[in-house]
Amino acid sequence: MLLKGKTAVISGAASKRGIGRATAELFAEHGARIAILDIDADAAAAAASELPKVDTGAHIGLRCDVADRASCQQAADAAIAAFGVTHILINNAGITQPVKTLEISDADWQRIVAVNMTGVLNLSQVFIPNMRDHGGGSIACMSSVSAQRGGGIFGGPHYSAAKAGVLGLAKAMAREFGPAGIRVNSVTPGLIQTDITGDKLTPEMRTDILKGIPLNRLGDARDVANIYLFLASDLSAYVTGAVIDVNGGMLIH
Ligand code: NAD
């Protein structure tokens, strides 16, 4: 039990096969009380009700559009009212779109940047004061191998840019809030088998991608959840501003 007595807020944790949902399950197995924040309110409530129970109170599912500051504030108010203190924030929500540079419309750019990057700032801003007032916490932010190698897997250049922005933002927050006991780290997964790729990942693409992965398999949501668990728990008590690759060796650098 690595998170006994802790509370954790996880964004983008409603989709059944997603990384956020796997993280919520793993954290609950380790004793944490969870708030699932997702743009899909019904799915968030259903996901929360299906998590392993803990003895510190019921898990909660809340609607939150991470791209919308007011929606984040509302969700934070509700989560803090229920929990009192928030120990862990997992900035996981994200969307992607497989287009090339010349095809990116202004609306595409705004949407991809707003959810993947501005969302990290929005949720961090609404939870950090509570963490600071209670002596610290741990924030983990979702980036992607796409930020490090300029895409080439699935997301377009706007996705790479937004996920690269997350790395800079997380490092800057780590520097700023370290003295307050708040650690901020990032994860950079390779290709993880979730529904984010829709039906656009063909068997041929899959075979091609596998050739570049030394561990010879695509990732599972649990592979990333395990790294979030490490970053959320005291196992990583002296780690901040770090970027952890979870890619089967797809990018060794
Ligand atoms: P997913 O589609 O299963 O999960 C994404 C979740 O985010 C969904 O529950 C969705 O409802 C929610 N969401 C979407 N827009 C939102 C918004 N505006 N506000 C709040 N919630 C919102 O996909 P996943 O693969 O589990 O993705 C999780 C994160 O991992 C994303 O940030 C994604 O970019 C990142 N990532 C995924 C992979 C991969 O290969 N699957 C690789 C690297 C990074």
190: in domain: yes
1: in domain: no
124: in domain: yes
Q: How many Å apart are CA 21 and CA 50, to the nearest integer? A: 10
What is the total residue count of the chain? 253
Q: How many Å apart are CA 253 and CA 248, to the nearest integer? A: 13
pLDDT in tens, 144-189: 999 999 996 889 999 999 999 999 999 999 999 999 999 999 999 9
Q: Under 8 Å CB-to-CB from 62, ≥6 apart: which residues? A: 35, 36, 37, 38, 41, 44, 75, 78, 79
102: in domain: yes
135: in domain: yes
Which among 143, 158, 194 is the best mutation to test ligand 1's pocket, defined by most ligand atoms within 8 Å of the CB? Answer: 194
Active-site residue flag, 238:
no
pLDDT in tens, 184-196: 999 999 999 999 8
Output the CA 139–ligand 1 centroid distance in Å: 17
253: in domain: no
Active-site residue among 83, 127, 154, 159?
159
Q: How many Å apart are CA 213 and CA 206, to the nearest integer? A: 11
The answer, yes or no, to whether any atom of ligand 1 lies below 6 A from the CB of 28, is: no
The answer, yes or no, to whether any atom of ligand 1 lies below 6 A from the CB of 36, is: no
Residue of the nearest CA to atom 10 in ligand 1? 12
User: Global pTM?
Assistant: 0.98
pLDDT in tens, 38-51: 999 999 999 999 99
The answer, yes or no, to whether any atom of ligand 1 lies below 6 A from the CB of 240, is: no
Residues of the domain holding 124:
7-245
CATH number of domain containing 21: 3.40.50.720
How many structural domains are present in the chain? 1
The answer, yes or no, to whether any atom of ligand 1 lies below 6 A from the CB of 46, is: no
250: in domain: no
What rounded mean pLDDT belongs to the chain? 97
Output the CA 15–ligand 1 centroid distance in Å: 8
Q: Which long-range contacts (CB under 8 A, 24 or more apart) does 212-218 make?
A: 212/250, 213/247, 213/248, 213/249, 213/250, 214/248, 214/249, 214/250, 214/252, 215/248, 215/249, 216/248, 217/248, 218/190, 218/191, 218/192, 218/193, 218/248
229: in domain: yes
Residue 253: pLDDT band (50, 70, 90) is very high
Output the CA 66–ligand 1 centroid distance in Å: 11
Helix (H) or strand (E) segment spanning residue 10: strand 7-11
The answer, yes or no, to whether any atom of ligand 1 lies below 6 A from the CB of 92, is: yes
Pick from 42, 90, 21, 71: nearest CA to 233: 90
Measured in degrees and rounded to the nearest 5, phi and psi for residue 90 equal -110, 105
The answer, yes or no, to whether any atom of ligand 1 lies below 6 A from the CB of 95, is: yes
Residue 240: pLDDT band (50, 70, 90) is very high
pLDDT in tens, 56-105: 999 999 999 999 999 999 999 999 999 999 999 999 999 999 999 999 99
Residue of the nearest CA to atom 34 in ligand 1? 94
Question: Measured from the CA of 195, which atom of ligand 1 is nearest?
Answer: 3
